[in-house]
Structure 1
Amino acid sequence: MRGHVFECLLRHVQQVNPYFRPHQKVIVALRMMVYGSPTDLMDEAYSMSKSTCLDNLVEFCDTIVQLYKDEYLCEPNQEDLDCFLHNSEDHGFPGMIGSLDCMHWDWKNCPTGWQRGFCRWLRKPTTNCCVRGGYLV
């Protein structure tokens, strides 16, 4: 994450929820979500207990929803739906609102340290991609 994006997110989160005054809590929550880090790792790296890490993650998610729900988590209006339908028609998928297709794609350049976590039954790293309404999600 770019520094200015993190600083903006940190500022917004801290304004809404004083629980995140030590920015270490935001870092722990982001690391757990982005890397799928287990609480054991956070416990060792940031000296936070497992239960505190989990409570911290829940608090962070609640704060993010509170902050951005009106802009990013709202139901689409008629203008949005028309735009989605038009774009999906342009890609050859008419009437594709609400459809979802997930698949595993081979991850050729997967970092060596991550390969074990992204290997499935095929014994090579893959990533799960979803297509919704003709767009990669």
Structure 2
Amino acid sequence: MSRPLFLQIVNEVEQHDPYFIQTTDVIGVLGLSSLQKIIVAYRILAYGTPTDSVDEYIRIRESTVIQSLRRFMKAVIAVFGDHYLRSPNNIDIVQLLQTGKQLGFLGMLGSIDCMY
């Protein structure tokens, strides 16, 4: 993923959910940054990393990791769901079929493991 795309996602998620904005506690100690919380979610989603191993890597408690992942997924669905997580329309289907044809998958619209 390119850095500008990642930072755009971070900004959109921060604007949607204030949980990801870095705050200070009552004695003035900075909390976790949005980057730390979002990177944890990415690692779990991309690599299937267990939540307890992320604690060793980024120094975040397991409960915070789980909460960050849940809130990140809810924010992504809320912010990007209407455009990227929707069913394909007719224009999308035509483009997908053309791409499949160019790659040698004639008339296929779906997963390779579902072919009979």
Matches within 5 A, 1:68-87: 68-87=80-99
Q: After TM superposition, which residue ranges in structure 1, 4 or more long, deviate above 6 angstroms?
A: none
TM-score, normalised via structure 1 length: 0.62
Matched, 1:96 2:108: yes
The C-alpha deviation readout for 1:66-122, integer Å capped at 9, x for no partner, is 1111221111111221222233334443321124239xxxxxxxxxxxxxxxxxxxx
TM-score, normalised via structure 2 length: 0.71
Aligned to 2:4: 4
Alpha-carbon RMSD across the aligned residues, in angstroms, is 2.4
Matched residues, number: 103
Q: What one-letter code is carried by the residue in structure 1 that aligns with 2:100? A: S
Structure ranking higher in strand proportion = 1
Matched, 1:65 2:77: yes
Aligned to 1:50: 62
Unaligned runs of 5+ in 1: 103-131, 133-137
Q: Secondary structure at the match of 2:113?
A: strand
Flag the 1:94–1:18 CA change in 2: closer, same or farther, 3 A.
same
Post-superposition offset of 1:46: 3.3
